[in-house]
Amino acid sequence: MAGRILVFAEQRDGSFRKSTFEALGRAKELGSEVHALLVGSSVASIAPSLGSYGATSVHTVEDSRCELYWSDGYAAALTAAIDALAPELVLLVATGMGKDLAPRVAARRNMAFLSDCIALDEVDGAFEATKSMYGGKVFAQVRSTRKPVIATLRPSAYPAPAPASAAAAVTPLAVELPNDSRARVIEVRKTEAGVLDVQEADIVASGGRGLKEPANFALIEALAKALGGAVGASRAAVDAGWIDHAHQVGQTGKAVSPKLYVAVGISGAIQHLAGMRTSKCILAINKDPEAPIFTMADYGIVGDLFKVVPLLTEEIRKAREA
């Protein structure tokens, strides 16, 4: 078993991302001691709750300049936490924030860096990651040759643990935040309230060009609602302006690994597969039996989505109500 693990707890507007709980859960399985770092403007009140997911101590950095993500400030905070705690492993999530922060800090402290891991284990005393490479065509086992290691986990790679009734000890961490910054976030444009992010969801129903026009995304929304999941999309649908880029799955969109991924009217181009092929179960609905998505799917329905999706949605609704 590994020793001390530090998890960067990602929060926005005082709410944690589900993937932070996933990282804490995996840290608890791997290490003997789990610490969390929480950075924000006013976050002390939410810090103890991280104990429910496996953190024994939470180290907080509160500063009004940290209300929005700030590369230089957050990197200074994480570097200070690493210096103070000397963890064997630092875990982040491969979200936009984690992807920006982890390599900065790895470079600052000359640490080994394992990025976008779909699995992370300790093997013979070293950390070993499984990574999906070349658009998901191969899985690579990458082993760090030294410690400490900094790693980012792909969202949904591990389940979030059921919360236990435990509170973590909370300690403010003394950090000198930089006075000048090379770049600052000046505005965050939020998606509509209540919209579930594809990277946070256990189930994703995605639509592609086969939907023919934007109004037909209502079919995907109804399916996602019946399943209790999020709405995803192919780039063709996003480029056509049918849905916001925040929903795009794939190489130039988001990488997802939900329990269930439903691809509707999506051909299965390699750039789309790159973002969803690590899903635990894939259902494809396409009228073309030769569509490449079927080579990746666990279940396939060959048929017209305009007939199949409403029927499926109705049956799912009935089954869930029963």
Ligand X SMILES: Cc1cc2nc3c(=O)[nH]c(=O)nc-3n(C[C@H](O)[C@H](O)[C@H](O)COP(=O)(O)OP(=O)(O)OC[C@H]3O[C@@H](n4cnc5c(N)ncnc54)[C@H](O)[C@@H]3O)c2cc1C
Q: What angle do CA 108, 82, 18 make, to 5 degrees?
A: 105
- Is 262 a binding residue for ligand X by CB under 6 A? The answer is no
- Measured from the CB of residue 206, what is the shortest distance to ligand X in angstroms? 8
Options 119, 126, 269, 316; binder of ligand X; rule CB under 6 A: 269
CB 280 within 8 A of CB 159: no
- Is 244 a binding residue for ligand X by CB under 6 A? The answer is no
- Is 304 a binding residue for ligand X by CB under 6 A? The answer is yes
| Residue 258 CA neighbour count, 13 Å, CB half | 27
Tell me how far apart the alpha carbons of residues 86 and 6 are, in angstroms, rounded to a whole number. 9
The nearer residue to ligand X, 56 or 271, going by C-beta atoms, is 271
The nearer residue to ligand X, 57 or 234, going by C-beta atoms, is 234
Options 59, 247, 272, 277; binder of ligand X; rule CB under 6 A: 272
- Measured from the CB of residue 203, what is the shortest distance to ligand X in angstroms? 18
Residue whose C-alpha is closest to residue 306's, from 249, 223, 182, 194? 223
Assign residue 42 a region (left: φ > 0; alpha: ψ between -120 and 50; beta: otherwise): beta
- Is 208 a binding residue for ligand X by CB under 6 A? The answer is yes
- Is 104 a binding residue for ligand X by CB under 6 A? The answer is no
Residue whose C-alpha is closest to residue 82's, from 168, 22, 144, 5? 5
CB 28 within 8 A of CB 54: yes
The nearer residue to ligand X, 101 or 284, going by C-beta atoms, is 284
- Is 273 a binding residue for ligand X by CB under 6 A? The answer is no
Rounded to the nearest 5 percent, the helix, strand and coil shares of the chain are 35, 30, 35
- Is 265 a binding residue for ligand X by CB under 6 A? The answer is yes
Options 58, 101, 236, 282; binder of ligand X; rule CB under 6 A: 236
CB 223 within 8 A of CB 198: no
Options 99, 131, 209, 259; binder of ligand X; rule CB under 6 A: 209
- Is 306 a binding residue for ligand X by CB under 6 A? The answer is yes
- Measured from the CB of residue 113, what is the shortest distance to ligand X in angstroms? 24
- Measured from the CB of residue 266, what is the shortest distance to ligand X in angstroms? 4
- Is 85 a binding residue for ligand X by CB under 6 A? The answer is no
| Footprint (CB under 6 A) of ligand X, residues 138-157 | none
- Is 245 a binding residue for ligand X by CB under 6 A? The answer is no
Hey, CA dihedral for 318, 291, 237, 94, is it positive or negative? positive
Tell me how far apart the alpha carbons of residues 294 and 200 are, in angstroms, rounded to a whole number. 25
Binding site for ligand X (CB under 6 A): 208-210, 234-237, 248, 250-253, 265-267, 269, 271-272, 275, 286-288, 291, 304-306
